[in-house]
Amino acid sequence: MGAVPRRRQGADVVGDEPVAGSGGPGQPGLSDGPTGQGSGPARGGEGLVRAYEAASMYYVQGETMEVIARHLGVSRSTVSRLLARARAQGVVRISLVQPGGAGSLEGHLAQVFGVRARVVPVREGTTEIHRLQQVAGVAATHMVDLVADLAEQAGARPGRDGVGPGSQGAHPGGQGEVGPGPQGAHPVGRDGVGPGVVVGVAWGTTMSEVSAVLPSRPVPGLTVVQLNGASDPVHEGPSATEVLSRMRDALGARTISFPVPAFFDHVATREAMWSERSVRRVLAVARRARLVVFGVGALDGALPSQVYAGGHLSASDRAVLRRQRVVGDVCTVLLRGDGSWRDISLNARATGPTPAQLARIPRRLCVVAGTGKARALLAALRARVATDLVVDDATARAVLELAHQRTS
């Protein structure tokens, strides 16, 4: 290839050289056809090699699609499809580095709340669900990057194919299991979980959207544990099972469910359940988490929060929330606008980790979209539940304005 000393910024082409035995342009192993004749659609590994070559020329060398088409002996539309496949298969990973200066939204959020923020620009006039999807896409990539960094720090570095030693495919042990995985998988401790990274996740509309767009990057030894109960909603909505299943598939994680209600009817019932060995084991795994990922529920918002709209609370419970000036929740632990939570009566029946318990976890990624959640997000930030934040630009501005109003 004729090298052009220009790189398209933000593109990372995975792999340093073509796959062994694939040959160069026009040589066997790089044809579009199954027989190496250069005709027909690309298939299997040969197609990925072609996708890699097209991506390398386009993103690294800065060649045009017309030049790449002539070089590969294919049409421009085929080059376009090869580039799309390279992105879809993880051969190309696009990343952007935000400036994040003191005058930026990220800088203001860091100064006021002490969080590492990623602000997602979303066009004005968009729908709330589209806004959430845009934020979820950025959050999903950021979550996977954080997991990979933690795994590397723990010594479980993925291989060039994204899978490290000891990874036995999608889900050793299976969803909801805390016992040993299949033979040859990671050794397990007394809590039934191996020595790899543990990530805690909440459930709800936001986490459902994040899990739906997770890039496929298996991490060896990863365990994902459900942080708060979610069973028995009256109205069907995003489920914790769905979130765990998607994370198992995308990250090759072992998943552990927490099959208890979001709120118990009686404090005594919760206390009794917390003494059960099976519940204690799940809570013990959650305490080992190095990263937690969660959204923020809002009592009033354009997109209904599943905690309040999903039948987890009775009408009398919701009346109590309003009397006690609750504005939202994190992991089903209810918060007032000033971030206080300890004396809210319903929290004695909640099943999620409190802000004090979350504070013991090194990285805490909060994902929020929609200005209707601004008051609840402000409460969460005042409760110091987050170290990292992914939020849309309109909500970031709304939170900063609310914070300024209450301090001026």
Residue 75 has pLDDT above 80, yes or no: yes
**Residue 214 in tokens:** 């997770």
Pairing of strands 92-94, 11-13: antiparallel
- Tell me, letter by letter, the H, E, C secondary structure of 259-315: CCECECCCHHHHHHHCCCHHHHHHHHHHHCCCEEEECCEECCCCCCCHHHHCCCCCH
Read off the tokens for 218: 């298996």
How confident is the model over 128-184, as pLDDT tens digits?
Answer: 999 999 999 999 999 999 999 999 988 754 433 343 433 333 333 334 433 333 333
In a domain, 383, yes or no: yes
Does residue 333 lie in a domain region? yes
- DSSP assignment letter at 139: H
User: Span 35-60, mean pLDDT?
Assistant: 69
| CB of 1 closer than 8 Å to CB of 60 | no
Q: Give 361-405 pLDDT, tens digit per residue.
A: 999 999 999 999 999 999 999 999 999 999 999 999 999 999 988
Q: Quote the domain boundaries for residue 245.
A: 105-407
Q: Decide: 225 and 199 in contact? Cβ < 8 Å.
A: yes
Tell me how far apart the alpha carbons of residues 224 and 209 are, in angstroms, rounded to a whole number.
17
Establish if 1 belongs to a structural domain. Answer: no
In a domain, 2, yes or no: no
Question: Same domain for 129 and 74?
Answer: no
94, 120, 135 - which closes a domain: 94
Whether residue 100 is predicted with pLDDT greater than 70 in this model: the reply is no
Does 271 lie in the same domain as 160?
A: yes
SS3 for 368?
A: strand
Three-state DSSP class for residue 10: coil
> Is 214 part of any domain?
yes
For residues 337 and 366, is the Cβ–Cβ distance under 8 A? Answer: no
Q: Which residue has the tokens 């496949």?
A: 85
Per-residue pLDDT, 322: 85
Domain identity same for 340 and 237: yes
Q: Say how far apart CA 32 and CA 50 lie, in whole Å.
A: 7
Count CB neighbours of 246 within 10 A.
Answer: 20
Task: Give 226's contacts (C-beta < 8 A, 6+ positions apart).
Answer: 200, 201, 202, 203, 240, 243, 244, 255, 256, 257, 258, 282
Average pLDDT of span 260-281: 93
CB 262 within 8 A of CB 334: no
d(CA 83, CA 72): 13
Domain co-membership, 244 together with 319: yes
Query: Is residue 333 located within the same domain as residue 210?
Result: yes
* Side chain identity, residue 206: T
Q: Are 23 and 71 in contact (CB under 8 A)?
A: no
At residue 69, the pLDDT reads 93
Q: Looking at the structure, do residues 154 and 252 belong to the same domain, yes or no?
A: yes
Whether 4 maps to a domain, the answer reads: no
pLDDT score for 19: 33
Kindly state whether residues 45 and 78 are assigned to the same domain.
yes
Calculated CA dihedral for residues 60, 65, 70, 76, nearest 10 degrees: 140
pLDDT at 163: 38
Answer yes or no: is 99 within a domain. Answer: no
pLDDT of 229 reads 87
52 shares its domain with 149: no
pLDDT at 302: 65
Lateral strand order in the sheet of 333-336: 297-298, 326-330, 333-336
Q: Is residue 6 one of the residues assigned to a domain?
A: no
Banded model confidence at residue 311, pLDDT cuts 50, 70, 90: low
- C-alpha span between 358 and 294 (Å, rounded): 11
Lowest pLDDT segment from 273-282, 310-319, 320-329: 310-319
Among candidate residues 69, 94, 119, the one where a domain is terminated: 94
Domain with 155 in it: what CATH number?
Answer: 3.40.50.1360
Total domains in the fold of the chain: 2
pLDDT tens sequence across 17-33: 333 333 333 333 333 43
Statement to judge: residues 111 and 88 lie in one domain:
no
- Last residue within a domain, chosen from 66, 94, 122: 94
Q: Look at residue 238 in the predicted model and tell me its pLDDT.
A: 61
We report the CATH number of the domain holding residue 81 as 1.10.10.10
- Whether the per-residue pLDDT at 35 is higher than 60: the answer is no
The answer to whether residues 179 and 49 belong to one domain is: no
pLDDT above 90 (res 273):
yes
User: Do residues 187 and 289 share a domain?
Assistant: yes
Does 88 score more than 50 pLDDT?
yes
Closest CA to 389 of 406, 408, 373, 405: 373
Say what percent of the chain tops pLDDT 90: 55
At 181-222, the pLDDT tens digits run 333 344 455 555 667 899 999 988 899 999 999 999 999 999
Among candidate residues 395, 199, 390, the one with its CA nearest the CA of residue 295? 390
Do residue 346 and residue 273 come from a single domain? yes
